[in-house]
Structure 1
Amino acid sequence: MALVDFSLAFNCVKHDLLGRKLQNEFGFSTSACSLITSYLSQRSQAVHHNGHFSSHRPLTDGTPQGSCLSALLFTIYINSLPSVLRCQYHLYADDLQVYVSGPKNDLDRLITALNDDLHAIECWAITNKLFPNPAKTKAIIFCKDGVVNPQIDVRFCGETIDLSDEVTNLGLIMDSRLKWSGQVNSVTMKVYNTLRTFRRFQKVLSMQTRHKLAQAVLIPFFLYCDAVYYPGLSAAQKEQLHRCFKSVIRFVYGLRRFDSTRAVRHTLMGCDLTENYLRRVCCFMHTVYNGKAPEYIAQHVRRGNNQRARSFIIPRHTTSTRRSLLIYGASTWNSQPLTIRNQTTMSTFKAALNRA
């Protein structure tokens, strides 16, 4: 997989080219395109430093920073990029991941296919006046046993992209063997660092305020992308997260370091951390079962033939893939009572899970 980086992507949008894309690719009328062009043009920018403003300079390119339309207009601008790709991809605004999969003994062909797409991205970027950044572009090979192959040569914009053992993809830290140690360490480090700051003011914060801080700031660290990595965690990694979560509970309720949290462990999220992870995996599988998941996810699982059972067919898998999201998720879904699986809306499904 290659994680492609563009330099200052939002600032490089050409207004005239965006107007042509709106008209030719999306069917905008001439007057609508003129309105968008008027919105983008005749803008200027100044810098405020030490109480003084610099002179204003015109902005001839880019979408307005902080504007609610900025991301949408950039998405429209980059929308044609996937048409030049042959490998699979994920594209979210200016975050692009291109990936290809296959057997380990076919690695040379896979690298060639990836390089072909990277070259196509380079050509597309030149045509559309964007600037790829090979220095920040990352490449990684996911393989259970690891890959030792000095002949691997991933190239982008004339430069060799060194293979990484660990990459950050939209805030999720992924290592080449999907062991998730970097992600777990990152979560716990963020929580402990934030707790260290909060504890300086603990004596002047009421329990209600500490509870709100935990809900708004600390718990989201545990929940971000949890359904992706939690099924693959080892027992030691799960225990690491549990110890960290107990520190949050002790902060909220003013408990000492070694005080038991058993009596209040359900109060922050309505259940303990493990149960919350299981519920969120079930919610993800509810989305898959009801046909609301992307095709690249839905194609890997099949619903059972008995519609009344509302279950998944567990595909054949190895010991290592048993902990993958879809295998683990399908098994967890099938283990839920039928009264829960029968809920068709997400709100009623969550309510049924909470009552169980």
Structure 2
Amino acid sequence: MNSDICRIVETSEDHGLHINTSKSLAMLFGKRKARERHKDSVRIRVKGSTLPIQDYAKNLGVVLDSDLRFKKQVSEMIKKAFLNLKLIFRNRRSISQQIKSILCESLVLSQFNYCDALYGPCLDAADKYRIQKMQNSCLRLIYGVRKYDR
């Protein structure tokens, strides 16, 4: 594997792309027991530096975890979406229903739409439920319905 990585580094540098080893890391994907079994035996070296093996990494705004369950990704999306929803909620009385809808779609729900084809099929029922709760909160805000109204 290290020889393949050396060829990738050489090809990258031939095309003007330099690998920053201080910002690079390695990940092992698979079940937890298999990862733990191989974690100590895997050494990936780039330009003389051994890359640290991490359990998760952020790439293009998506947090990948080593078991591909995207729990940390969902938590970060919900955190950002909730903060944006709170900003809209503060001004709910001064904006129309149409503007609330546009703001919720662009600031809150867009958090979940980014790369949903990547993480969507991997989510468990609990994470899907957490996302559904956030979507329900947006609808309640838009239509002025309280949580337990019927």
TM-score normalised by the shorter chain: which range applies? 0.7 to 0.9
**1:201 and 2:91 equivalent?**
yes
**Which residue matches 1:120?**
7
**1:245 and 2:149 equivalent?**
no
Q: Which amino acid is the alignment partner of residue 139 of structure 1?
A: A
Give 1:222 deviation, angstroms: 1.6
**1:210 and 2:100 equivalent?**
yes
Question: Which of 24, 34, 41 is residue 137 of structure 1 equivalent to?
Answer: 24
Question: Which of 145, 151, 154 is residue 44 of structure 2 equivalent to?
Answer: 154
Alignment TM-score, normalising by the size of structure 2 = 0.86
Quickly say closer, same or farther: Cα 1:156–1:169, change in 2 above 3 A.
same
Distance 2:19 2:57 in 1: 18
Number of residue pairs aligned between Structure 1 and Structure 2: 147
Distance 2:13 2:97 in 1: 56
Distance 2:64 2:16 in 1: 31
Give 1:200 deviation, angstroms: 2.2
Give 1:217 deviation, angstroms: 2.3
Query: Aligned with 1:250: secondary structure?
Result: helix
Q: Which amino acid is the alignment partner of residue 192 of structure 1?
A: F
**Which residue matches 1:323?**
none
Residues 31 and 67, structure 2, Cα contact 8 Å, conserved in 1: yes
**Which residue matches 1:254?**
144
Give 1:251 deviation, angstroms: 1.7
More helix by share: 2
Give 1:127 deviation, angstroms: 3.5
**Which residue matches 1:184?**
74
Q: Which amino acid is the alignment partner of residue 26 of structure 2?
A: A
Query: Aligned with 1:190: secondary structure?
Result: helix
Give 1:209 deviation, angstroms: 0.5
Give 1:208 deviation, angstroms: 0.9
Q: Which amino acid is the alignment partner of residue 147 of structure 1?
A: R
Task: State, as a whole percentage, how many aligned pairs show the same letter.
Answer: 30
Q: Which residues in structure 2 correspond to 1:308-327 (within 5 Å)? A: none
Give 1:177 deviation, angstroms: 0.9
Unaligned runs of 5+ in 2: none
Give 1:233 deviation, angstroms: 1.7
Q: Which amino acid is the alignment partner of residue 141 of structure 1?
A: L
Q: Which amino acid is the alignment partner of residue 144 of structure 1?
A: K
1:157-177 C-alpha deviation (Å, 9 max, x unpaired): 221111110112322222111
1:149-191 C-alpha deviation (Å, 9 max, x unpaired): 3121111122111111011232222211112211211221111
Q: Which residues in structure 2 correspond to 1:219-298 (within 5 Å)? A: 219-259=109-149
Q: Which amino acid is the alignment partner of residue 187 of structure 1?
A: M
Unaligned runs of 5+ in 1: 1-112, 261-356
**Which residue matches 1:174?**
64
Distance 1:208 1:245 in 2: 16
Q: Which amino acid is the alignment partner of residue 45 of structure 2?
A: R
Distance 1:223 1:180 in 2: 14
Give 1:229 deviation, angstroms: 2.0
Alignment TM-score, normalising by the size of structure 1 = 0.39
Q: Which amino acid is the alignment partner of residue 71 of structure 2?
A: S
Give 1:118 deviation, angstroms: 2.2
**Which residue matches 1:301?**
none
Distance 2:137 2:3 in 1: 49
Give 1:219 deviation, angstroms: 1.8
Give 1:116 deviation, angstroms: 1.9
Give 1:210 deviation, angstroms: 0.5
